Structure 1
Amino acid sequence: MNIPQIQLQTTRGQIALTTQKPVQQIEQPKADLDLQQPKAEMSIHTTKSELSIDSVEMRESLDLRSSASRAAEVAQYSAQTAMEGLARRSQEGGELMKIENGGNPLVEQAKRTGRQPYSSLGIKFIPQADSVKINFTPGSVDIQAEPQKVINNTKTNKPIHNYTPGKVNVDIQQHPSLKIDWLI
């Protein structure tokens, strides 16, 4: 006995996917750099220092006197010696005028003038301590500096961004099918 049969024949459907990748481009341009630094404003005020050295006393102790000082000393010594000589001559003249009072004034005068007095050893250290006078007035320096601010005109540039989105295309590569057949 023949039993009828159904025969099914199927074909699967196939999908084809075609993709186009996305493209992204990013570029960052450099910044436009514009920096300026003005010079600082500076002023300097100074006061000169003063140094004075007075070595007159030291030079005199070393017997290194100026011509004016030496001339004044010689003039004073000469005047004093002349006055002493005048006084001595006047005294001796007075003694000679009174010769009648007795004594021998000529012999006495010769004895006085013929004997030299002893000179002493005058040891002293030269130059004497503190014989040089030093005076110093320090100077001063006043510095005024005023820094200037930086001038910044820098401009940033935005990034350049190009984006092409990707695509997906769906196609049917093989259509599905169903074939039914009867066999008897």
Structure 2
Amino acid sequence: MQLPQLRMESQFAKIQINQTDARLEIKQEQPQVMIQQPKPEVRMQTTPSKLSIDQTQAWEDMDLLSISRRNDRFASEALQALQAGLARTAREGNELMKIENGGNPIAAQAKRMSSPPPKELGIKFIPSHFAVKTNYQPSELHIDVTTNKPKIDAEIYAPQFTYHPGDVQTSLLQRNYLKITYENQPK
């Protein structure tokens, strides 16, 4: 016995997908920047140093005086000598007035006048210690600095966006089908 034959051929459908990607373009120009830095202002004030040397005492110790100082010294010594002489004369006069009280005032006065006190010996041309006086004032420096802030001028640009949307297209690349054949074969 022969059986009929049934044949089937089929084909699946195929879908074609075309995709275009989305694109985003960003453009931004470089910013324009201008920077200026003013110089700082510096002011300096200096007071000069002072050195004073006073050697008046040293010159006096060496007996090298200016004419005005020598005249002042001579006048002072003359006044002292005058006062001492007046005091001595008054004292001797008082002694002579009181001669009746006894003693020998004339001999005593003659003895004092004949033996004056001895002169002082010594080196007179070397000044005493610390006769030269010095005074020093150091200089002072005042610095005043004024800083200036930088001047910044910036021009910025906003970014520019360009958007290209994506796309998806679908189509049928191959149709589906089903083919059925029937065969009956006689013998």
Q: TM-score, normalised by structure 1?
A: 0.54
Which residue matches 1:16?
16
Which residue matches 2:29?
29
Give the Cα–Cα distance (whole angstroms) in 1 for the partners of residues 32 and 9 of structure 2: 73
Which residue matches 1:150?
150
Give the Cα–Cα distance (whole angstroms) in 2 for the partners of residues 71 and 127 of structure 1: 17
SS of 2:144's equivalent in the other structure is strand
Deviation per CA, 1:56-115: give whole Å up to 9, x if none: 33245456655x469859xx5xxx9xxxxxxxxxxxxxxxxxxxxxxxxxxxxxxx9xxx
Which residue matches 2:122?
122
Offset at residue 180 of structure 1 (A): 2.1
Offset at residue 167 of structure 1 (A): 3.2
Which residue matches 1:103?
none
Give the Cα–Cα distance (whole angstroms) in 2 for the partners of residues 28 and 59 of structure 1: 89
Q: Are 1:131 and 2:139 counterparts?
A: no
Offset at residue 10 of structure 1 (A): 0.7
Which residue matches 2:173?
173
SS of 2:182's equivalent in the other structure is strand
Cα gap change, 1:29/1:58 in structure 2, threshold over 3 Å: closer, same or farther? farther
Contact 2:63 2:125 (8 Å CA) reproduced: no
Offset at residue 175 of structure 1 (A): 1.3
SS of 1:57's equivalent in the other structure is helix
Deviation per CA, 1:9-66: give whole Å up to 9, x if none: 1112222333334444444433221223333444444444433211233245456655
Give the Cα–Cα distance (whole angstroms) in 2 for the partners of residues 154 and 125 of structure 1: 83
Q: Are 1:164 and 2:164 counterparts?
A: yes
The runs of 5 or more residues in structure 2 that have no matched partner are 79-113
Count of aligned pairs:
147
Offset at residue 137 of structure 1 (A): 3.8
- Summarize the alignment of residues 87-106 of structure 1 with structure 2, pairs less than 5 Å apart: none
Cα gap change, 1:161/1:129 in structure 2, threshold over 3 Å: closer, same or farther? farther
Q: Are 1:51 and 2:34 counterparts?
A: no
Q: Which amino acid counterpart does residue 158 of structure 1 have in structure 2?
A: A
Give the Cα–Cα distance (whole angstroms) in 2 for the partners of residues 154 and 7 of structure 1: 82
Percent same amino acid among aligned pairs? 32
Which residue matches 2:39?
39
SS of 1:135's equivalent in the other structure is strand
